[in-house]
Chain A
Amino acid sequence: MSPDMLISLLTKGTLQTLQMVIVSGLIGTALGLPIGIFLATSGKGELLQAPMLNRIVGLIVNATRSTPFIILVVAIIPFTRLVAGTSIGTQAAIVPLTVATIPFFARLVESAIREVDKGLIEAARAMGATPMQIVIKVLLAESKPAITLAFTLTIVSLIGYSAMVGAVGGGGLGDLGIRYGYQRFMPGVMLAVVVVLIVLVQAIQSAGDRLARSFDKKNRSQ
């Protein structure tokens, strides 16, 4: 394979991966965030008490989380066709990726919010705050560094997941590595794909870490 061709394949694959990761990442976390908040605050004796609904949502989240991703991709094909109009291609791959992101991010947000000191909730209640004010001004504000890290982790995991959607013609770097590197015995392509993925993950992780640190006012010294 000529270097030009390799570069053009890599560029196309990277763009497809980024498209899938960014779109499903943004939609998935936007939908996962409120679900995570709900899971963290609706238990018995908590802020938005709704124990029945909490258990139902928790069950759905667990069910989605425990389905292997590749099975999820195939299982929701009818839904994918409904949303994307087709069941193959990059756009179609975004649907299962988003569906998998929602419960993943929701659980991460839930645990981030549960880390917030209960005393702060009590103090806000004592000030006369409404549950909504407590969610926004206390829970989200205080867990912002942790949620930033959760978002970073979600995006990095999505890069891994996106490699699997080659199975439905989603394209992207993972697909490139499998089809050229593995099936056509081109270790050079495989290596190039892995290198690009490593660089991508590193860049996202360190940007996320830096952002989280700038939000974190807890571990500052005098």
Chain B
Amino acid sequence: MAEHVSGLAERPVAETGAPMVGFENVIKSFKSRETGRKAFRALDNISYSVPRGAITGIIGRSGAGKSTLVRLVNGLERPSEGRVIVDGTDVAALDEVALRSQRRSIGMIFQHFNLLSSRTVYDNVAMPLEIAGMAKLDIKRRIEPLIDLVGLSERKHHYPAQLSGGQKQRVGIARALASEPKLLLSDEATSALDPETTQQILGLLKTINRDLGLTVLLITHEMEVVKAVTSRVAVMDKGQIVESGRTFDVFTAPQHETTRSMLAALPGGSLPDWIGRQVIADPKPGCNALLRLRFFGETADQPLVSRLMAVLDSPVNIIAGTVDEIAGEPYGTLYVAYSADPAIMQKADQFYAQTGLNAEVVGYVS
């Protein structure tokens, strides 16, 4: 597994050509069970493109509509209005028979794995090919390397009940890849796994994306997942996409309130409690200013903090901070406090303007 994990740091495959999936003004409403008519809008006019060859994330809280959105792609759900174009075909317009053959070119993995308990690892992976009517020998030739790829060759005659969660999801991944799909849908695939196993599964997804050039569309409620593997992200809230773009941009400069509050849950995303309680909104004489400095792009590579200390010629107190990686790029957050004296504040502002360091006063502490 080691090489999979280290693969996390690598850049995603280049995005090329027409989008793999295009949502065009998609609306999905459900009838309410009680009244039978008052419709609930799970998806409210969604337009979004999923680029080819990349890992794209859709993030949102539960009930935001992301599950419904991903199910439109393989026709498990039908839109009430709008078009869902997958590799040039409007899935929403297909009948059941055409949809079935379309589904064979789209793999899907699930939060609870959805493996057949009555089948061994091998037979689970073979299932999509059996369904497609492939000969037994061809199936064997196709799936043996896949079981190898997910590292389960030694367990291929085990039943799912004999596997750990991470192993089950690897079976799920091998099964999804069996029909050599052009697109892989991941529905909260790591949400039932522990953090370490999550990293392994994400590493595997990343390897698959890179080595097979497979487009991946994953939905999740975990910012960590988006941060680790996606190159693009769309944030959903109440049936709408409220923000989208390169993962790094969305993470470092979130525009929408939902994105900000979801990011606050990440380490370094918000002030530690003990200091947060002391922060006041307006300066008092003799108090310190509390700032959030964010390092990314060019500013991530330079020794800016020590230079700041030299420029200010006044004590700089480092309160909290993290250095992390988003979509393969370094990113750091540092909370610092220094005297709120106007002369010092002005020197600092000049320094930020010269160096391009992203700094923001979050409050004052005495």
Residues on A lying within 8 angstroms of B by beta carbon are 117, 119-120, 122-130, 133, 137-138, 141-142, 144, 215, 217-222
- Does any Cβ of A come within 8 Å of B112's Cβ? yes
- Does any Cβ of A come within 8 Å of B132's Cβ? yes
Given the contacts A128-B100, A141-B118, A142-B116, A122 and B76 also touching, CB distance less than 8 Å: yes
Give the contacting residue for B117; candidates A122, A127, A128, A142; CB below 8 A. Answer: A142
Given contacts A141-B119, A142-B117, 4 further A-B contacts (CB under 8 A): A117-B114, A119-B110, A125-B103, A217-B161
14 A-B Cβ contacts within 8 A? A122-B114, A123-B110, A126-B106, A127-B131, A127-B179, A128-B101, A129-B131, A137-B131, A138-B116, A141-B118, A144-B118, A217-B117, A218-B161, A220-B161
Q: How many A-B residue pairs have CB under 8 A?
A: 74
**B73 (CB) vs chain A CBs: closest residue:** A126
Residues of A within 8 A of B112 (CB): 117, 119
Residues of A within 8 A of B160 (CB): 217
Residues on B lying within 8 angstroms of A by beta carbon are 74, 76, 100-104, 106, 108, 110, 112, 114-119, 127-128, 130-132, 159-162, 175, 179, 185
Contact residues of B: prevailing secondary structure: mixed
A133 to B127, CA, bound (A): 10
Contact in complex: B104, A127 (CB < 8 Å): yes
A130 to B175, CA, bound (A): 17
A211 to B127, CA, bound (A): 25
**Chain A nearest Cβ from B363, distance in angstroms:** 47
Given the contacts A119-B110, A128-B104, A217-B118, A222 and B127 also touching, CB distance less than 8 Å: no
Residues of B within 8 A of A128 (CB): 100-104, 128, 131-132, 179
Residues of A within 8 A of B116 (CB): 120, 137-138, 141-142
**A129 (CB) vs chain B CBs: closest residue:** B131
A217 to B175, CA, bound (A): 19
**Chain B nearest Cβ from A222, distance in angstroms:** 5
Give the contacting residue for A217; candidates B104, B108, B127, B159; CB below 8 A. Answer: B159
**A123 (CB) vs chain B CBs: closest residue:** B114
A126 to B108, CA, bound (A): 7
Contact in complex: B74, A218 (CB < 8 Å): no
Residues of B within 8 A of A221 (CB): 161-162
Contact in complex: A124, B118 (CB < 8 Å): no
Contact in complex: B118, A127 (CB < 8 Å): no
Given the contacts A137-B131, A141-B119, A219 and B161 also touching, CB distance less than 8 Å: yes
Residues of B within 8 A of A142 (CB): 116-118
Residues of A within 8 A of B106 (CB): 126
Residues of B within 8 A of A124 (CB): 127, 131
A128 to B117, CA, bound (A): 19
Residues of A within 8 A of B118 (CB): 141-142, 144, 215, 217
A110 to B142, CA, bound (A): 36
